[in-house]
A and B are shown apart, each in its own frame.
Chain A
């Protein structure tokens, strides 16, 4: 698996942005993580996209966000990862760590920051785009046992419980009969 450094966030696809807008509306409130999971209520068609955000809160009271990593799991028979892009919570000039598979049902990704500068903040750490492959429950979830946020020394700054996926599909993904 190759890695590359992205000095600025990658712009997600228009569809992802649309979905993210829906998510943002859904999660707007006192806490980025307090809102219930939200997302398309209608069945999604094969080859359509699902966009979810990985959000974090509680960074203001910690040492300062410099890095994070996360493992997101899913049902590989239902969805596949199309891409993972950095979010707006990361410090300016962060270096992106390209996603790597974590078994058959997971993806591991993250970022770090070298040098001085203001730390990151509460908000979106990453935006994940999935493509629908088949019918069933996508079961997209954050593996908190393999996720964390870190300060400039690499020390953990907030419990993984302060990280969450937002914008998850509420209902299972159905494919219309005859579509496949």
Chain B
């Protein structure tokens, strides 16, 4: 058996690995003292004897000069550690360090932190040491389920027999299985047989009674912060964003995948695509007759998702109010189909901003036969200029916004009895964008009873998205890590999802749901969504699964029970909480539409803290729940560590609860609808069928999505 390692640590009892730079660290450019800083590392941990863990730690050089340093193991006990050779990092650049750790089979049968890993100097002037000191997890339960290879809760002759039957099998042979190669040498040998035989008679954790205490204690804000440091480093090195269509998003995907490497999770990165429309040439509008006039380009802006092409037709105003009312939204131009009662098909509709979403106006105009649509701003102070916004999903006719001044002039002409002919044009080109979600499945438990937990991984372009939604993503990562360390063997199956393109219209999650066959969706007994868990002026918001906040909403049966599960948990600890409208503004929407019960937590976005919320949670009344929401300042400094500790514990508790629930599920609950009705489930099923194929159209209104399910849609009307 190959026991040789290129960098085998010296034998010692203390389990500490330090990537020391005392001898190798140097500035390539001879930077003056203190001008370089290497930051961001993390803790290396493993899951007991026979574990093989590969950690990839993000590393960014925040200094002004490039640095190069060698890594060395100072002390790793007898745990073999493989390190890369020299690391070179340009000034301002980011890279990753991969550290592979094999836990010997002789290690104690418990989950153990291998080490604290620190990259950087030991006081060397050019690189600052940043380190975390990790503790040791003493798990009270019996581990060792990795040796229960015929999973029945006990390590016995059956397990020994299975391994010895594979004796001699090598990597590449049909009989070889990585899960049986406990010493990771590429062959099933006597060490592997002995690893099981030596534990024969022991029980593993598969029969553990559900108790979230151990995992709640393990999933700490400190650990979550380490993942957030990684996401922050990615943003730092990529223009302060992790938005889709930027390198920061794909690096975030890579970060999740690498963090989960060798932890026992089955990780996939399914693709999704969406269509992004790019404006090839600016919107254009001119009056052909009477009095030909090319409208100033600054007062003409094509809507995002406008149709493309040139249209020349007679203009007809629809229910406009000029001069405008004193207050905004003083007209209902185009909001009702009846507004178009006298409209002649084949004309260009002249509409006015106000009262209802642009999308409603446009759809009504198209239904009435408009071949082009001009919408002018309403006319009050700050509501005069033409600006770029979206009509929602792609439409088939050119739609252009005009300034109020242009709109007023056209309305005046029409009011004077003139036949006004307008030529307008919009030119958008569709581009198909491909990105990836990350799906991780814990390969234990009933695959027909899946508890799915998700968080969106992308940020908006304007910022690094650490609270929105690094906090949800990092909480799931830490949950995954601790489930692996504890080797949890629940009756139901846990599947985690890190969604992409949530911020441009829930694209990744909707695509994934649409890609699943009906039978696969039926296996998901519920979906939990966590979008913003560390808001600075926080609330403890629980998704309103019983629809008590919405008179006209009903959610799939079971959503109410999920809400109650979170409420019961907080009540048990004496922690206040409130309901937040579940809506459809985060990744749970696709699941609800498919009839899958859903719930989640939310600590707040841009909304000001209400008096009621202030009474419940304290903080600052009237101030935004997250003042950095969708802004550049949504950095790691924007996270409240107290609330994320509380919320992550709730995530762990409720997730584990449903993982151990033998009854919960849509099939059982359809007979006893709560919140939603059976009819609503059927309607949702129907809606799911309408989700369409894998190609979705992104909403170009960056920022309209992703602030949770809880606010009315700011349709910008």
Contacts and interface: CB of A to CB of B under 8 A. Distances in A.
B105 interface: yes
A130 interface: no
Contact of A155 (B4, B104, B160, B167): B104
Contacts of A98: 167
A78 B190 CA distance: 28
Contacts of B2: 145-146
Nearest to A151: B106
A115 interface: yes
Contacts of A95: 164, 197
A152 B198 CA distance: 5
Contacts, number: 105
Contacts of A1: 168
A115 B200 contact: yes
Interface of A: 1, 3, 63, 66-69, 95, 97-98, 100, 102, 108, 110-115, 145-148, 150-156, 159-160
Contacts of A145: 1-2, 4
Contacts of B4: 145
A150 B167 contact: no
A36 B1 CA distance: 24
B165 interface: yes
Nearest to A103: B170
Interface in B159-202: 160, 164-165, 167-168, 182-183, 187, 189-200
Given A97-B190, A146-B187, A160-B3, A114 B200 contact: yes
A114 B157 CA distance: 9
Interface string B55-79: 0000000000000000000000000
A148 B191 contact: yes
A111 B193 CA distance: 9
A87 to B, nearest CB: 14
A152 B107 CA distance: 12
Contacts of B192: 154
Contact of B194 (A102, A152, A160): A152
A97 B3 contact: no
A146 B1 contact: yes
Given A113-B197, A114-B160, A145-B1, 12 more contacts: A67-B197, A100-B167, A110-B193, A112-B193, A147-B1, A151-B106, A153-B194, A153-B198, A154-B106, A154-B194, A156-B3, A156-B191
Contacts of B187: 108, 146
B49 interface: yes
A113 B189 CA distance: 13
Given A68-B190, A155-B106, A156-B3, A110 B182 contact: no
* Most A CB within 10 A of own CB, among B2, B107, B167, B195: B167
B276 to A, nearest CB: 53
* Most B CB within 10 A of own CB, among A69, A100, A146, A151: A69
A68 B167 CA distance: 12
